[in-house]
Structure 1
Amino acid sequence: MQSPTGSVVALSSAASTMFSIGIFLGYWGLHEPSVWRVGDRVVAGLALAGFACLGSVPWLATSPAKPNDESRFLMARRAFLCGAAAVWVAIALSLVL
């Protein structure tokens, strides 16, 4: 089995970087002493869904597949897009709410 090259490595490293930075900042924000409102729960749920998508990207991109089957990599791309969008929407909502 060949080692991943090109866009697989780029996609996996981008998702891993966003995941690790986001989880660190999210964990830091969870220790606020104030009571959570509904908006806070929506933002946290959206961010966690985004982090779940981002966390699955390296697994999807590097999982074994048939030689000319790009379906797993396309799923990884969609998971990255959904994860990044969910995280950015959560960030924007946190500023508005």
Structure 2
Amino acid sequence: MKIIRPRQAAEKCGIGLPTIWAWARDKPDFPKPVRLSGNASGFIEEEIDAYLERKVVEYRAAPEKRETAVVAAQKSAQMRRQRKMQRGDHAA
């Protein structure tokens, strides 16, 4: 078992340090940190790796969800542009 510091865990996940702490706090399926001493914490590297592997499997198993999310984002962007145009903000 290897313990990595939060910055290393964040880099592995491709996110920032504040986000790693938010995920640890808010995402029930994200690995919880291990307290090493009074002010030092770390994450078990194997748990971070397993989390990332699960996310890859979920992502690849659900292409229809990705497509739906893309379509929703496009519609949302289009609606924002339309609202800007209605307000007279033509720099959209």
User: Does the pair score TM above 0.5?
Assistant: no
- With structure 2 as the length reference, what TM-score do the two structures score? 0.29
Q: Which has the higher Rg, Structure 1 or Structure 2? A: 2
- With structure 1 as the length reference, what TM-score do the two structures score? 0.27
Higher normalized strand content (fraction of residues)? 2
Point out which structure has higher relative CO (alpha carbons under 8 A, 6+ apart).
Answer: 1
